[in-house]
Amino acid sequence: MDASIKTEFMSRYDLPTPEPDSPSLSRSRRPYAFSTLCATVENPNSSHKDQHGSSSVPIYQTATFKGVGGVYDYSRSGNPTRTHLEHHIAKISSAQHAFAVSSGMAALDVITRILKPGCEVIAGDDIYGGTNRLLSYIRTHMGVVVHHVDTTDANSVLPYLNPGKTAMVLLETPTNPLLKIIDIASISALIKEKCEDAVVVVDNTMMSPYLQRPLEHGADIVYDSATKYLSGHHDLMAGVITCNRDDLAQQMAFTINSVGNALTPFDSFLLLRGIKTLAIRMDRQQSSALLVAQMLSKLGFKTHYPGLPNHPNREVHERIADGYGAVLSFETGDKELSERIVGATRLWGISVSFGCVNSLISMPCVMSHASIDPATRAARGLPEDLIRLCVGIEDPADLLDDLQHALLEAGAITLAANDFVRIPNAVNKAVEKLADMQPRNDDTRDREWFVSAPGKVILFGEHAVVHGVTALAASVDLRCYGLSSPRDDGKVSVRFTNIGDHYHEWNIDELPWDAASPIPPGEAHADVLDQRLVDAISQRALPPAEDLPPKTHGALLAFLYLYMSISYKGSRDRPSFHLQVKSTLPVGAGLGSSAAYSTCMSTILLLLNTRVSVPPLPVPSRSPSHPEDPGHIHISHQGRRALPPDVADEINRWAFVAEKVLHGNPSGVDNSVSVFGGALAYTRPGFGKKSGTDPIQGFKSLKFLLVDSKVPRDTKKLVAGVAAKKMDEPEAVGKVLEDIQSIVDEARRALADPELSRDDLLSALSTLIDENHVHLVSLGVSHEVLETIRNKTAAQPYGLSTKLTGAGGGGCSVTLIPDNFQDKHLRELVALLEKDSFQPYLTAVGGSGVGILSPYNDPHRVARYGNDPMTPPDTPSPEEYDEHAGLSESVLKSEFESVAHEDFALWADSQGRWLYV
């Protein structure tokens, strides 16, 4: 920024309150009231006065200015219309400096550019979703540590203050949509005492400068989405920033000039026009909001509004604010009832925004927060039935009348004795009993969780999938199993039965939490891993990889990465438990064992942190054999109940994160098959065609012989080799990839064709398997042991088709077994392969995905173990602990450890009702 513009940014706001020309009086003038300041758009700097004396600030709709050495030269750096606006904003905000940019999020972006890699940010745990997204980005890409804290209690920030590191504390009050109150003054004072270099930033959008000026209460920077109350008409996008510190103003001015996100002249004009009526608009809006809140509260609805006497921290709000605002929310106790109410309104517009002259209504859990799974919303205390009201300037009598009619039409209230009264919610007693029978959130960590996930075979498309070719994959009935058992000693531990029976434990408080940025419920993990956390775990929580059994270092790293990313609350809320993993899948053989492990681990961590929940019990019915017991579940042991799609989606997202830790850049197909089961077609994004996963409907069950060559393979090296070959021979490799895509397309058609006979299907798949393997050999990813297995299975009298699966370079092969293949020949082939030290598995593909053993007391388990086998004793005696201190024994855990490998799958299936995707 040139010197003249920089000087302009730094000095333009050091101005007196403007006074109209008049003779001097014997007494000094009283300060102007806020509404007068809003309506009086003057700038005493002579260089900014309009030469024609226009009563409305002109729009200087120009990109450049003529001359040399003038105040303005380029509108990105400065524009007279914007200068007037910024002076006006500073004046009404108790600020020395103000900046106008293109949106509220642009304002926050400018502010966060103050941060440097390695510094730390403390933010609320109930803040605007766009703010969360931006914080996630800077955490991932800038190396900034972000702590999400319940800022309604000022002392909650104390454990996260790190002098020399804590650089910013980000607040908003009231929060949206529950109107929680944060004490800006107390937190600001605390920060200045403990971390004097930290900057306190406040999002003031809900209040606007009219009702709250955080700079007066210790904040360093304040920003608003001016799209809301400052504009008031929803006809422009804008953001404003105010501060009183010259050093901060200089940094932000430099950023705005550099990136070019300053507000345009025309939008500056519109925003100036809107601000003139800010006071009178908000006076009307908040007075009407109080009437609406009082009416709803009187009717018996739980109403969230700072103006109500019982609102939490109301005295704090009244100390730091000049009014209660125009946003409120209320609960009906019934989501469907809330939907009917919202749909029945006529005057209230259904919209996700607020701050407009028109009144708006919305259901956050159906609209703005619908992307967050129900379990996470429940963990954050966000009711599914919540209705948010943003009150406008319409006649309050009309607003009340319209809302009353909507409540009446929806069946929420009725007219009695010439007055409206609330109709009590008609609660279905059977549903109420089911709710009582569900496991409570506070019991989640006091019980054992038994989960499982299948491995996978890629039938067609290995290696080519990395380059945009579709892969066909299916689950196998070989699975990984995970059992979590609660600990009471502040430790977390794991045991990998199939990897050297390795055991490892950590003190939870001694983990490198300073490097962690736990992801709050409802937020997705960034696209890339948090390398700072990966490095901290590797260097401070794990021994060197060479000191551990093979594959153990990666498994431990993935576990701790997910544990520290998902356990987002304070130390007392982080689950203390033992995870034991056992697998009937061969580990490291290319059958998706790491994805199955990732899925089991993610499922248990999400359950323990109440981010997902199992579905409720089926409706109880009287059984003929138990007529006296209305709660007896009359369902066969084999009855299948599905896990909800939102639960599966959340598990899949975190399983993919774990796969990234283990493999760097996975395709995503392994974890998707492990979670969803069945068979699917997967296309990687970024290749100019539709990406994602598509289930293969009507997939016919197929019998395969999986053969573990017991030769390790290096997936990363093999993938890199294909990439290098493609660079050296683009035409030849491109042709191979096209041919593989054709094979995949033909296989999909055959599998989905209901008219194709079983014999023709198996014959077609056999031919495609042979063709696919030839192409993989040409890519250089096979191995001599795989070719040996192919030759043995293809020899007479077998004549079977075999191909590598997974990465190749060793690992596993898959052999299609026709329906009419003789048992005698199968036994001979298995014996032949075992003689050469290969490990064959006869299996089927296309079964269930992730499974969770039902935590409810079904008759099968009660008959075997007695009541509630899933919950260990509350106060076990010393002899009830195993060799690892703090870990209580249970029947389930004991058998999990002792059942023989060859009997384990059958034992696991016999434990009770499994809930599958």
Catalytic residue numbers?
Answer: 76, 128, 203, 228
Helix 531-540 vs helix 552-566: angle between axes, to the nearest 10 degrees? 120
**Amino acid at residue number 356:** C
Residues 6 or more apart whose CB falls under 8 angstroms from that of 532 comprise 143, 145, 515
Q: Which helix (H) or strand (E) holds 659?
A: helix 645-663
Query: What does the DSSP 8-state code read for residue 442?
Result: G
Q: Is 522 left (phi over 0), alpha (psi -120 to 50) or beta?
A: left
Alpha-carbon distance of 775 to 465, in angstroms, equals 13
Alpha-carbon distance of 788 to 836, in angstroms, equals 10
Q: Which residue bears the tokens 């992801």?
A: 519
What tokens were used for 252? 């932000």
Q: Residue 483 in contact with residue 580, Cβ under 8 Å?
A: yes
HSE (side-chain half, CA atoms, 13 Å) at 611 = 28
Residues 6 or more apart whose CB falls under 8 angstroms from that of 441 comprise 378, 379, 610, 613
**Amino acid at residue number 394:** E
Residues 6 or more apart whose CB falls under 8 angstroms from that of 884 comprise 493, 503, 505, 578
Alpha-carbon distance of 653 to 888, in angstroms, equals 31
Alpha-carbon distance of 238 to 367, in angstroms, equals 23
Query: By three-state DSSP, how is residue 861 classified?
Result: helix
Alpha-carbon distance of 12 to 80, in angstroms, equals 12
Beta strands in 102-149 (DSSP E): 120-124, 145-149
**Amino acid at residue number 327:** V
Q: Residue 798 in contact with residue 826, Cβ under 8 Å?
A: no
* Phi/psi of residue 361, nearest 5 degrees: -135, 145
Q: Which helix (H) or strand (E) holds 387?
A: strand 387-390
Q: Residue 491 in contact with residue 506, Cβ under 8 Å?
A: yes
Alpha-carbon distance of 217 to 208, in angstroms, equals 15
Q: Which of 437, 439, 427 is nearest to 332 (CA)?
A: 427
What tokens were used for 738? 């096209």
Q: Which residue bears the tokens 């249970």?
A: 890
Q: Residue 223 in contact with residue 95, Cβ under 8 Å?
A: no
Distances (CA, A) of 650 to 229, 563, 602, 658: 36, 15, 9, 13
From the number of C-beta atoms within 10 Å of its C-beta (0-12, 13-18, 19+), residue 329 rates as buried
Distances (CA, A) of 18 to 15, 31, 43, 463, 693: 8, 10, 7, 72, 64
What tokens were used for 246? 């010259």
Q: What is the DSSP string of 802-833?
A: EEEETT-SSSEEEEEE-TT--HHHHHHHHHHH
Nearest 10 degrees: Cα torsion 240, 246, 252, 255:
140
| b/e 646-659 (16+ beta carbons within 10 angstroms → b) | ebbebbbbbbbbbb
What tokens were used for 848? 């269930």
Alpha-carbon distance of 39 to 42, in angstroms, equals 9
Q: Residue 453 in contact with residue 851, Cβ under 8 Å?
A: yes
